[in-house]
Structure 1
Amino acid sequence: MDQNLLERLKAYTVVVADTGDINSIEKFRPQDATTNPSLITAAAQMPEYTDIVSGALGWARKEAGQGADAGAIVGLAIDRLAVDFGLRILKIVPGRVSTEVDARLSYDAQATVDKARRIIRLYEEAGASRERILIKIASTWEGIRAAEVLEKEGIRCNLTLLFGVHQAIACAEAGVTLISPFVGRILDWYLKDTGRASYPPAEDPGVVSVTRIYNYYKKHGYKTEVMGASFRNIDEIKELAGCDLLTIAPKLLAELASARGDLPRKLDPEAARAMSIEKIRMDEATFRAMHAADRMASEKLSEGIDGFSKALATLEGLLRERLEKGAAS
């Protein structure tokens, strides 16, 4: 059968749509979908989603009650908006949707737990099962500890902004459901740091990092799933064929769907189990020492948290503006 590369990839790997754009999800029909603050902020500014934004603000006004200030209403609306996008996505995909906790809570384990519980409560009040929701949390030490608590409560977690093997090992030992190592952002860092214009696909530092994590997990029998994320080109995706999951932006999904050719499996659990890979004992001191020694992981984690925090601030401004317009009309 003459299959395109997207269809061939689905034979080895669960394909996930990396977008808040519901129309794109309907087009490509992935198994799962992931969102983040940047994607939700972008989607919230599209005219076709005005009804979701208006609905979230209306709900937040009622929830906050008479006399509530704009900040309280906007805070509630952001949670509602993320859940409302997620609920619409769940009507399209057969699997799971990932919804992210406020990135500004990334170094506060208890606040992260509280926010995650609130998000799950909103989903469940709307009739969604928690088994279909992944709570996205940044892979700080505090975020991983929060995820450990949540997993014990049956709240499944997707640990994001993951750049180093130390983060991956800590996540697996905490029993998290899934991790999202960021392939393209790792490549970005190395291109800038080395001054190189490119890497051969198999030597792409992001590809090498995810391959190492995948093999480590399979060798040592961890159940945590590996979902490569943040791709810059389809060559990176092809090099990771066989990864548990890959979350891919609509532009690259379209490229895969229009391309033909062979797509050999590159990552294989049986091959990984046959490898000689030393197990690393992970505790807080080891994690922090490895993180400090990994300049790329340290810089990209901080940068990623800052980026998602800025996206949330932009979304807050957008919602506040619409709230004021609504009050004035």
Structure 2
Amino acid sequence: MKFFIDTANLGHIREAHELGILDGVTTNPSLMAKEGISGHENVIRHYKAICDITDGDVSAEVISTTFEGMLQEAEELVKIDEQIVVKIPMIKDGVKAIKYLSGQGVRTNCTLVFSPGQALLAAKAGATYVSPFIGRLDDVSTDGMVLIDDIRLIYDNYDFKTQILAASVRHPMHIIACAKSGADVVTSSLSAITALLKHPLTDIGLAQFLADYERAAATTNKPNA
């Protein structure tokens, strides 16, 4: 499974890259605003800065909700860097745009997916990635992981090449559940990823190893009577 980080924070992206597990980045206008990035030219420059940090795919989201507007934005976004994947919303004109762009060799990420039917349409249109939002489903008392299971089954049934990019991932157990369900990619915050490092028995074991080493070293260095 690939690990993407869902942020516009360059520091977090660098940290994930340096950890050695980063396969790509997803971001959106809300995450840009959170980092104080505003203005068209600044957003474009920020996307380029992200591409310069990671070697993987970088999802850059369109703002328009019309077919023509999405194509115009996509044309500009793909000029930033060859790593750019154009993020398109799951709406009627979005599906049309995905179909057109995939025919032009432009890679796309269909976002805001909440049902198997939406995921099926995205795959039929040729999306490179489909982004089911599991955390937001959990927020409305619906098991988001069932959606991942359903999409995996449908895609395997018909050998669709669209990759399942599990989004709106809130905690490390979401990541483990996505891995078990066969998601191709998971995108989450840095904190959810680094939480996978932690286990109390690891801390206890390491503390014991270090204490034993210190005792052994003290015995070895003790002067003879």
How high is the TM-score relative to the length of structure 2?
A: 0.81
Deviations 1:103-143 (CA, angstroms, capped at 9, x unpaired): xx22x11211112112223x1xxxx22xx111111111210
2:52 equivalent among 67, 72, 91: 91
More helix by share: 1
Task: Give the secondary structure class of the aligned counterpart of 1:91.
Answer: helix
The count of corresponding residues between Structure 1 and Structure 2 is: 195
What letter corresponds to residue 14 of structure 1 in structure 2?
Answer: K
Asked if 1:237 corresponds to 2:202, the answer is no
Alignment of 1:209-228 (within 5 A): 209-228=147-166
Deviation at 1:232, TM superposition (A): 2.3
Where does the alignment leave 5 or more consecutive residues of structure 2 unmatched? Answer: 202-225
> 2:76 corresponds to which residue?
118
Does structure 2 retain, via aligned residues, the 8 Å contact 1:83–1:99? no
- Indicate yes or no: 2:132 matched with 1:181: yes
Structure 2 match to 1:250: 190
What's the secondary structure of 1:229's corresponding residue?
Answer: strand
The root-mean-square deviation of aligned C-alpha atoms, in Å, is 1.7
Q: What residue identity is the alignment partner of 1:43?
A: E
What's the counterpart of residue 270 of structure 1? none
Say which structure is richer in strand.
2
The alpha carbon displacement at 1:258 in A equals 2.7
Question: Is the contact between residue 170 and residue 188 of structure 2 (CA under 8 Å) also seen in structure 1?
Answer: no
Pick one of 106, 115, 118 that aligns with 1:167: 118
Specify the SS of the correspondent of 2:53. coil
Please tell me whether the aligned partners of residues 82 and 99 of structure 1 are also in contact (alpha carbons under 8 angstroms). no
Q: Helix, strand or coil: the match of 2:35?
A: helix
Q: Describe how 1:10-89 pairs up with structure 2 within 5 A.
A: 13-29=1-17, 30-44=22-36, 77-78=39-40, 80-89=41-50
Map 1:220-299 onto structure 2 (within 5 A). Answer: 220-241=158-179, 242-259=182-199
- Structure 1 portions without partners, runs of 5+: 1-12, 46-52, 54-76, 192-204, 262-329
Q: Percent same amino acid among aligned pairs?
A: 29
How far is 1:260 from its partner? Answer: 7.9
In 2, Cα distance between equivalents of 1:259 and 1:25: 24
For the residues of structure 2 that align with 1:229 and 1:259, how far apart are their CA atoms?
A: 24
Bigger Cα Rg:
2
Q: 1:85-113: per-residue Cα shift (whole Å, max 9, x none)?
A: 221111221111010000xx22x112111
Residues of 2 paired with 1:240 and 1:158: CA distance? Answer: 18
Moved over 6 A (4+): none
- The CA deviation at 1:257 is 2.8
Q: In 2, Cα distance between the equivalents of 1:159 and 1:81?
A: 24
| Displacement after TM superposition at 1:163 (Å) | 0.4
Give the counterpart letter for 1:88 in structure 2.
A
